[in-house]
Structure 1
Amino acid sequence: MTSLVLVNPKRRLSARYETGILSFAFALAATVFYLDTFTDIHSALATLYVITLLLSAETLTEKGTLLLTAVCVGLSVLSYAAAHGTDADLAAILRLTVAVAAILITCALIIRNHRARLDLIRFNVALQSSEERYRTIFEQSRVALWERDYSEVRALLMVLKAQGVIDLRAYARDNPNFIGDCISRIPTVAANAAALELLGNVSAKNAGSMRRYIAQDDETFLDLMVAIFDNQSYFEGKGTIITSDGTTKLVLLTVGFPVDVANFNRVIVGMFDITERELAQKALFEAQAELALASRAATVGALSASLAHELNQPLGALVVNAQTLLRWLDRDPPDLAAVSRSAERIVRDSQRASDIIQSTRSMLSERTPVLEPVSLADLVNETQALMESELSRNRIKFETSEAPGITNVSAVRIELQQVLINLITNAIQAMAATPEELRRISVLINPADGQGVRVSVRDSGPGLRAEILEKLFKPFCTTKETGLGMGLAICRGMLEARGGSLTAGNHVQGGALFEMIVPIEAIHE
């Protein structure tokens, strides 16, 4: 059962002071009742009960206020009955009505104010609790976190935009002091222990400015400024920092920008040390490249040795029979019967050499390829996912477009994927000298003439020189210092073995363009 609490137990004033206020309020109510009942003052004296309610508002609870309101209304009615009885006139009734209305309205306002104050108190308590939780997470997190004030640098960027600056990167190139100016406009509000440890166990005072910790040739800070300039809501990028002891570290930088511009004075910045991960990944890439190179070299070497050994006898026989044939022809008259026999032996030995090559080719294939329905769009997306790390590392934008109505093809899935991987890898390597903002690989899937689908792979690199185009698909033709020149030749061979084709050229808008025609129904060679 709920107890009837009339006096607010959470006093904001001293008990003695509140007792005095209540005593004065009740004395005022008694005085008003006396004047309204026993004097001839023709005025709405009962409205003075409002003062009693206002004086008691801070001390009484909501129930206490309601009870006091009822008492004041009762006293007003009692005064009216005692003074006028049944001979009341209209003016007296109106004065009573005004007084009662004033008392009730005041009661309603007091209760509303009381509830609003309680809501405000609860909100402040919740806000304080949330701030404490946030501060605990911020301070104890093992992720390096900063609170930084980006308001001033954002104001600078918006001024530049208003002045007509469109390309912030170009503006930064034309103004060498721009980056330094931006860094100086970003003070650090707070940094947790992990952040100080990341910078080399520096003190919070020394972590105030990031100027000394950002590598001079690092482009990540400019990318961050571009994100603010373009009003992006989130930024993530890899950068380089120099710790207090001169150690270079690779970090993953994440920044979430607030929706309200006023909150740019406290922006959370997170950093993750990915130095070991990047070095391990680099070592893995180098090992994979070396392994692939060694594997290809070993395959070519083994194939060459095998063919040389197996073909030595039939080729030797070919030479002997050819020499014999020439001797029979040199006779006067030529011995045509002997010439015919030598020619037959040459054909026989040639066929034997061909059989050896076919046998070697069969040995290189462990099993008979299986044809299956393949969605080229899904295959391109899957290949993109496989190469996402390489694309991201080289900051290349990958675009895919498929014409409507493209059907699945019957093909050897792994062969098509091998061709795509080879073409995309070549495109990535071809754009090494292309500015990062211009690096783009576009894959278009369109119907081809006849029963086939055309898959076009275009890059934004320098394109292919005319002398390279002539021999591009020949074995051991390469433009790379460490390349063997076998990839494109193998790719074209695989496609042609299934009834398709692979061609190369330069796009009219720049860059190399490779087009592979994939038949709807692949064939076995």
Structure 2
Amino acid sequence: MVSSITLKLINRRGTVSHEIALGLIALALAVAVFYVDAFTEIESAIAVLYVIVLLLAAEILTRIGTTLLAIVSIILTLFAYFYSHGFEENVPAQLRLAVSLAAITITCALILRNETARVGLIEANLHLRDSETRYRYIFEHSRIALWERDYSAVRSFLMSLKAEGVSDLKDYYRTNPGVIVACTGLIRTIAANDAAMELLGHMTDGLHSRTMRRYIAPDDDTFLDLMDAIFCGERHFEGKGNLITENGESRLVIMSMSFPEDPSAFNRVVVGMVDITQREMMQKALREAQDELARASRAATVGTLSASLAHELNQPLGAIVVNAQTLLRWLNREPPDLAAVRRSAERIIRDSQRASEIIHNTRSMLTQGDRTPEQVDLETLIEETRALMEHDFQRDMVEFDVSPAETPLAVKAIRIELQQVLINLVTNAVQAMRETAIDRRKILVSLGRKDDIFVSLSVRDFGPGISEEAMAKLFTPFFTTKPSGMGMGLSICRSTLEARGGQLIAGNHPEGGAIFEMIIPIEDDHDQH
């Protein structure tokens, strides 16, 4: 530390001594030039020698000092001229005066311009040094693996191949696989940061003595793509490849670099690599989890459809059983009541056809089959539903009333879907009133136009209504308040209507009981599209 300070003091003293010496020499020369120019008979442009005074003093003077010295030199030159020649006309002397003044002025201007250029050069060098320092700091401390490599030799080699007539490097590689080994040996590593050393494994001898082929996976084509990018004159390269670390582990990396436009700048190309091994492993695990989820979803879908089918078939199959039992009773009479038998047989046929339609509808959903919408008269649909559920109404002593619309209403829809929804809602209403007094067991179905696009079909019961807790989960699959229920009916009803552009809204009527409103589009939403 002491020796360093001493050395600085010695350098400083040496600089001061040099400046004093230049100043004395310039002063002495200026005095000599003035004396010879003013007080001797020499007929020559002696004042031109002030240029030497300016050049000597420029090293120790500022811009203002140099300008003042030039002005003083001009004044001295004019004083010497008028002292020696007065105001008489002397053309040769005037020419010498003009040459001297021009030389002093031009020299001062050149000195000032050079000083400006020198200051600019110093500032540029300082900026360049700062930039280099920042670059080096970023390079060394970046968590991205960075290399500085010399690709000039490999570029020259590839350009020589192009000059020999090679137009497709990849095609050339198929018959000359050794070209990549040759290219690898021509690449020289100039520098590598800590992240690069960590990526490949910590090495005691560094990377400078290593060939990168040692770290490239044998079956990796990324390096060939890189050479092809240089061969084709591309300005940027990015590729995904595998590296083999010092301990033999495989790392998947993204390699990126930009090539300079100037071929001479290929001696310093920055190469960046990002390790994406963990990311790829996570994505692979995510894809496997998604596949597993898809399999589970398919299994759940099958279970849901099975539950849905069982729920939908329960009503017509139950009706078939009841009507068959009724038919047997009529046959066992003496004599058999054939008219009643016929009515029971007709009801069995009707319920069987409805069960068949439910199965056909479910199959169409599974196979994405074509189910063509048709014009459905809603009042007729309600009356058909009343007939289908007549046995349920009689068994539970439920009154079924319809409040028709002012004008007949028809919608374009799939009949079996609307009937399934309506039967579900009516069945739920019947079951909800089993604990209600017999004189209050009533279902009221109302029909009306909601607006120009939708009609409303509501089903109201006079049971206990829907609790707040049940309302929040009412349409959730497998949620039920019935001891033997599956919780699929309302979920299926809502999804059926929503699939066709409609809605199913549930609530409690102000005068008691629950009310479900079917919002049905007049034109089938799927048919419009």
CA contact (8 A) 1:310 1:356 kept: no
SS of the residue corresponding to residue 202 of structure 1 reads coil
- Residue correspondences, number: 345
1:211 alignment partner in structure 2? 213
How far the C-alpha of 1:95 sits from its partner, in A, is: 0.6
How far the C-alpha of 1:146 sits from its partner, in A, is: 0.6
Please give the alpha-carbon distance, in whole angstroms, between the structure 2 residues aligned to 1:298 and 1:224. Answer: 49
Please give the alpha-carbon distance, in whole angstroms, between the structure 2 residues aligned to 1:357 and 1:181. Answer: 70
Measured against aligned partners, the alpha-carbon deviations of 1:242-274 in whole angstroms (never above 9, x if no partner) come to 110111111111112223222211111111111
1:111 alignment partner in structure 2? 112
- The 5-angstrom pairing of residues 315-330 of structure 1 reads none
How far the C-alpha of 1:206 sits from its partner, in A, is: 3.6
CA contact (8 A) 1:314 1:353 kept: no
Please give the alpha-carbon distance, in whole angstroms, between the structure 2 residues aligned to 1:93 and 1:82. Answer: 13
User: Partner letter of residue 226 of structure 2?
Assistant: L
Measured against aligned partners, the alpha-carbon deviations of 1:59-83 in whole angstroms (never above 9, x if no partner) come to 2111111111111111111110110
How far the C-alpha of 1:522 sits from its partner, in A, is: 5.5
User: Partner letter of residue 94 of structure 1?
Assistant: L
CA contact (8 A) 1:148 1:269 kept: yes
Structure 1 position 32 matched with structure 2 position 33: yes
How far the C-alpha of 1:145 sits from its partner, in A, is: 0.8
Structure 1 position 353 matched with structure 2 position 362: no
How far the C-alpha of 1:88 sits from its partner, in A, is: 3.6
- The 5-angstrom pairing of residues 11-50 of structure 1 reads 14-50=15-51
CA contact (8 A) 2:309 2:362 kept: no
Specify whether residues 194 and 109 from structure 1 end up closer, same or farther in structure 2 by C-alpha distance, changes over 3 A only.
Answer: same
Measured against aligned partners, the alpha-carbon deviations of 1:431-461 in whole angstroms (never above 9, x if no partner) come to xxxxxxxxxxxxxxxxxxxxxxxxxxxxxxx
User: Partner letter of residue 358 of structure 1?
Assistant: N
Match of residue 523, structure 1, among 506, 522, 527: 527
Specify whether residues 26 and 253 from structure 1 end up closer, same or farther in structure 2 by C-alpha distance, changes over 3 A only.
Answer: same
CA contact (8 A) 1:150 1:185 kept: yes
CA contact (8 A) 1:196 1:203 kept: no
5+ residue gaps, structure 1, are 1-9, 322-337, 366-496, 499-520
SS of the residue corresponding to residue 523 of structure 1 reads helix
- Decide which moves more: 291-300 or 29-38: 291-300
Structure 1 position 157 matched with structure 2 position 161: no
Q: What do you get for the CA RMSD once the two structures are aligned?
A: 3.6
CA contact (8 A) 2:313 2:358 kept: no
- The 5-angstrom pairing of residues 95-244 of structure 1 reads 95-203=96-204, 205-206=206-207, 208-244=210-246
Specify whether residues 354 and 165 from structure 1 end up closer, same or farther in structure 2 by C-alpha distance, changes over 3 A only.
Answer: farther
Please give the alpha-carbon distance, in whole angstroms, between the structure 2 residues aligned to 1:107 and 1:88. Answer: 29
5+ residue gaps, structure 2, are 1-10, 325-340, 369-499, 502-524
Give the structure-2-normalised TM-score: 0.58
2:251 alignment partner in structure 1? 249
Measured against aligned partners, the alpha-carbon deviations of 1:173-197 in whole angstroms (never above 9, x if no partner) come to 2211122111111111100011101
Please give the alpha-carbon distance, in whole angstroms, between the structure 1 residues aligned to 2:228 and 2:345. Answer: 79
Specify whether residues 84 and 122 from structure 1 end up closer, same or farther in structure 2 by C-alpha distance, changes over 3 A only.
Answer: same
- The 5-angstrom pairing of residues 232-311 of structure 1 reads 232-300=234-302, 303=305
Please give the alpha-carbon distance, in whole angstroms, between the structure 2 residues aligned to 1:104 and 1:51. Answer: 13
User: Partner letter of residue 180 of structure 1?
Assistant: V
How far the C-alpha of 1:276 sits from its partner, in A, is: 0.8
SS of the residue corresponding to residue 268 of structure 1 reads strand
SS of the residue corresponding to residue 527 of structure 2 reads coil
Specify whether residues 229 and 300 from structure 1 end up closer, same or farther in structure 2 by C-alpha distance, changes over 3 A only.
Answer: farther
User: Partner letter of residue 93 of structure 2?
Assistant: A
CA contact (8 A) 2:143 2:195 kept: yes
Measured against aligned partners, the alpha-carbon deviations of 1:313-358 in whole angstroms (never above 9, x if no partner) come to 999x9xxx9xxxxxxxxxxxxxxxx9xx999977863552122342
User: Partner letter of residue 103 of structure 2?
Assistant: A
1:85 alignment partner in structure 2? 86
User: Partner letter of residue 104 of structure 2?
Assistant: I
Give the structure-1-normalised TM-score: 0.59
User: Partner letter of residue 240 of structure 1?
Assistant: N
How far the C-alpha of 1:138 sits from its partner, in A, is: 0.8
CA contact (8 A) 1:11 1:59 kept: no
Please give the alpha-carbon distance, in whole angstroms, between the structure 1 residues aligned to 2:110 and 2:271. Answer: 46
Please give the alpha-carbon distance, in whole angstroms, between the structure 2 residues aligned to 1:11 and 1:88. Answer: 53
SS of the residue corresponding to residue 256 of structure 2 reads strand
User: Partner letter of residue 227 of structure 1?
Assistant: A
Specify whether residues 71 and 184 from structure 1 end up closer, same or farther in structure 2 by C-alpha distance, changes over 3 A only.
Answer: same
* Larger Cα-atom Rg: 2
User: Partner letter of residue 277 of structure 1?
Assistant: R
Specify whether residues 266 and 12 from structure 1 end up closer, same or farther in structure 2 by C-alpha distance, changes over 3 A only.
Answer: farther
CA contact (8 A) 2:241 2:255 kept: yes
- The 5-angstrom pairing of residues 385-464 of structure 1 reads none
SS of the residue corresponding to residue 243 of structure 2 reads strand
How far the C-alpha of 1:151 sits from its partner, in A, is: 1.4
SS of the residue corresponding to residue 242 of structure 2 reads strand
Please give the alpha-carbon distance, in whole angstroms, between the structure 1 residues aligned to 2:13 and 2:126. Answer: 17
- Decide which moves more: 170-179 or 144-153: 170-179
